[in-house]
């Protein structure tokens, strides 16, 4: 089993090689400039690599990019093997990254919270305190002097 530093180094190399090969070496119109490699993870035994990617576009573009990556998997693995120089080239698995969808969900929740805050701010704009502005009791000066003299 390889150490974590070696797996991390190999994952970084795979990410760079795959990104460069997609940009310059593969002429598949389904991939083009729409695909971005976001992360790569390699198992501890350096046998399998998972490549996370995002696609700029709609669901049809995502489906065609996934098919393009599956068809280019052999070419990409060969490029990784030539660059890595390891005894065994890891198998590549491409997974669509869920980061854009998670970010969209968070943005929607933040917009909902902003709208709720604005509604509370509008309702409370003309509100007054239920009691006095200063709710703490203060001793009267006259009462303190009268009790001290006795």
Residue 124 structure tokens: 């409370």
How far apart, in whole angstroms, are the C-alpha atoms of residue 36 and residue 15?
10
Which tens digits make up the pLDDT trace of 20-53?
Answer: 888 887 787 777 667 888 899 998 888 999 999 9
Is residue 48 classed as helix, strand or coil in its secondary structure? strand
CB 31 within 8 A of CB 65: yes
Is the pTM above the cut of 0.85?
Answer: no
Cα separation, 25 vs 76, in Å, equals 9
DSSP, residue by residue, 5-45: HHHHHHHHHHHHHHHHIIIII---TTTTTTEEEEEEEE-TT
Q: What is the per-residue pLDDT across 100-117, written as a single tens digit (0 to 9) for each?
A: 778 889 999 999 999 999
């Amino acid at each position: 089993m390889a150490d974590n530093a070696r797996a991390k180094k190999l994952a970084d190399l795979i990410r760079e090689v795959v990104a460069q090969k997609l940009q310059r070496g593969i002429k598949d119109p389904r991939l083009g400039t729409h695909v971005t490699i976001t992360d790569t993870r390699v198992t501890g035994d350096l046998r399998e690599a998972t490549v996370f990617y995002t696609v700029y576009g709609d669901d049809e573009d995502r489906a065609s990019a996934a098919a393009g990556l599956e068809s280019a998997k052999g070419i990409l693995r060969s490029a990784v093997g030539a660059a890595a120089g390891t005894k065994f080239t890891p198998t590549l698995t491409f997974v669509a990254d869920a980061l854009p969808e998670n970010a969209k969900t968070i943005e929607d929740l933040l917009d909902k919270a902003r709208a709720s805050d604005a509604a509370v701010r509008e309702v409370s704009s003309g509100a007054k305190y239920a009691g006095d502005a200063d709710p703490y009791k203060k001793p009267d000066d006259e009462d303190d002097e009268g009790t001290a003299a006795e």
